[in-house]
Structure 1
Amino acid sequence: MTTASLRADNRRISPVFLGIAAVTAVAGWAVWTDFAANAGIAVFLFVTGAWIVSLCLHEYAHARTALHSGDISIGAKGYLTLNPLKYTHALLSIVLPVIFMIMGGIGLPGGAVFIERHRIRGRWRHSLISAAGPLTNVLFALVCTAPFWLGALDGVPAGFRYALGFLALLQVTAAILNFLPVPGLDGYGVLEPWLSYKIRRQVEPLAPFGLLLVFIVLFIPEVNAAFFDAIDAILSALGVRDVDSYCGQNLFRFWTDRNEYFCGPVG
C-alpha cells in the first residue's frame, strides 16, 4: 500500500459516521412527516443521532486544528475519519454523553482526542486547538436555532420544532460546560498555555476529576437553578421558548408520561 493511499484512508469519512448520519436524516424525515406511529421514538432517534454527529464534529475540530498546527500524527490515529470509535475513549466521548443526555437533558462534554502537544509551537495554537471543539457546539447551536431567530417556523411541524429546541438546549449546555476554565475541560485548555509552569504542574493532578467536580457542583440546587436560568436566557435570546425545549425533552423521553395537553398533540 502506498503512502498516498494511507493518507487517503486516514482522511476518508468512516462508514460508521455515515451510518449514524443516515439514521439521523431518516429519523428527522419521520419527525417532519409524522411517519412514525410513535413520534417520541422518531424524536429520540433524531436527537440522539444528531447529538452523536455533533460529538464527532467536536472531536474532529480538535483534530483538524491540531493537524494544521503541527501534529502530523493525527491522521494515523483515525481522528480525521469522524469515526466515534477512533477517539480516545469511546465511553467518555460517546457513551457517557448520550447517557447524561437521556437522564438529565445535559450536553456532557466528551473526552478529547489525544494530541501530541510537543509537536505544536505557539501558545495561540494550543489555545485554538482547545477552543475548536466547543466552538463547533456553538455553531451547531446556531444552526439548530436558526429557524427560530430567523422567524422561519411557519409550516414547521410541532414535533420537529420541539426536537430542534431540545437539541439546541443540549448544544448550548455542551458549549458552556466545555468553556468552563476547569482542569480537564476545553476552557482550561484555552487558558493553560498562558499560565506559569508552576501553576500548570500544581493543577495537572486535578484534570481527571474536573468534569466530575463540575457535575457535583451542579447538584447544588442554587447552582443548578442559576445554570439553567442562564441556559434559558441564551435560548430565549435565540428565539427558542421554554416550551420548545421542554416539549422536545418530553418527546425525547418517550418511555415516560408526557404532558401532551401542555405541549399539544404531536403525531
Structure 2
Amino acid sequence: MDVAIAILVLLFSLTVHESAHALAALRMGDDTASRMGRITLNPLAHIDPIGTIVVPLVMALLPGGIMFGWAKPVPVNTLRLRNPMRDHAVIAAAGPASNLVLAGVFAVLFGLLDGYAHARLQSGIVDLGAAYTFLRLLTQWGVLLNILLALFNLIPLPPLDGSWIMMAALKDELARSYARLYPYGFLLVIVLMNVGLGRLLWRGVLYVSAWYLQISNLVSRIFV
C-alpha cells in the first residue's frame, strides 16, 4: 500500500507542477500550453508513460531508491514572451514553487491528523482505523515527495527548471556558454544522481521537511 500511495501522491504532485508551469506561461503572455489543455489537474494531460509511471515504480521497488519521476514538459514559445529570459525563468520557478506550497498543504493536513489522533487516544480510543492510516501515509508522502520534486527541479542543470533560473541570472556570454550543456544535461543529471548527488538531495529533503514538520506541530496544537 505504501508504494501505491507514494505513486498516487507523485502523480498528483507532478500534475500540479506542470499546471503551474502552464499557468505561469499564460500569465507571461504565452498561451501555447493553455491551448493544449495543460492548465488542468487531470493527470492524463500531463502523464509521460516512462517518467510518470515506469521510473517511479522501478525506483520505489529498488532498495534504497529515491522515488522521483517527471511528466510531459510544458511547451513554451519564447517568441510570445515579453521578456524571454526573465519570463522563462519565472515560468520555470512556478513548478518548484507549487510543490513547496503543496508540501505546506500536506503538512497542515498531517498536523490536523496528528491532533485528531492525539484527541482520540486521550479519550481511550486506541484503534484509529484504516482511513487514518491511509491519510497519514498520504500526507507524509505529500510532504516528502513535494519537497523532493522542488529541490530536484531547482538543481541548476538542464533540462531541470533550475537551469532556466540560472540562465536568467548569468550575463550574456556566460549564459551562452552555459547553454552548451543542454545537449548533455539529462545524462549529466543521471550520472551525478548516481555518484552522490542523490544522497545529498535526500539530505536536503530531510532538512527542509523538518521545517515543514514545525508547521504540522503548530497546527496540531492550535486547531485540534
Could you say whether these structures have the same fold, taking a TM-score greater than 0.5 normalized by the shorter chain as the test? yes
Amino acid at match of 1:227: L
* Aligned match for 1:190, one of 145, 165, 172: 165
Amino acid at match of 1:80: I
* Aligned match for 1:76, one of 20, 29, 35: 35
State the partner residue of 1:236: 210
State the partner residue of 2:15: 56
Q: CA RMSD in A?
A: 2.9
* Aligned match for 1:65, one of 14, 21, 24: 24
Going from structure 1 to structure 2, the CA distance change for 1:100 and 1:235 (only over 3 Å counts) comes to: farther
Amino acid at match of 2:22: A
Amino acid at match of 1:161: R
State the aligned residue count.
Answer: 197
- CA distance in 2 between counterparts of 1:54 and 1:141 reads 9
**Contact 2:5 2:137 (8 Å CA) reproduced:** no
**Contact 1:179 1:185 (8 Å CA) reproduced:** yes
* Aligned match for 2:67, one of 106, 123, 133: 106
Matched, 1:176 2:176: no
Amino acid at match of 1:94: T
Matched, 1:121 2:121: no
Amino acid at match of 2:137: Y
- CA distance in 1 between counterparts of 2:93 and 2:167 reads 12
Residue pairs, 1:1-267, within 5 angstroms:
40=1, 43-87=2-46, 90-91=48-49, 94-95=52-53, 98-99=56-57, 101-103=59-61, 104-122=65-83, 123-148=85-110, 152-155=114-117, 157-221=132-196, 223-239=197-213
- CA distance in 2 between counterparts of 1:99 and 1:45 reads 9
State the partner residue of 1:262: none
Residues 149-193 of structure 1: CA deviation (Å, up to 9, x unaligned): 568443263443233223322111111011111121101112213
Amino acid at match of 1:217: L
The percent of aligned pairs where both chains have the same amino acid is: 26
Going from structure 1 to structure 2, the CA distance change for 1:111 and 1:179 (only over 3 Å counts) comes to: farther
Ranges in structure 2 where 5+ consecutive residues have no aligned partner: 118-127, 215-224
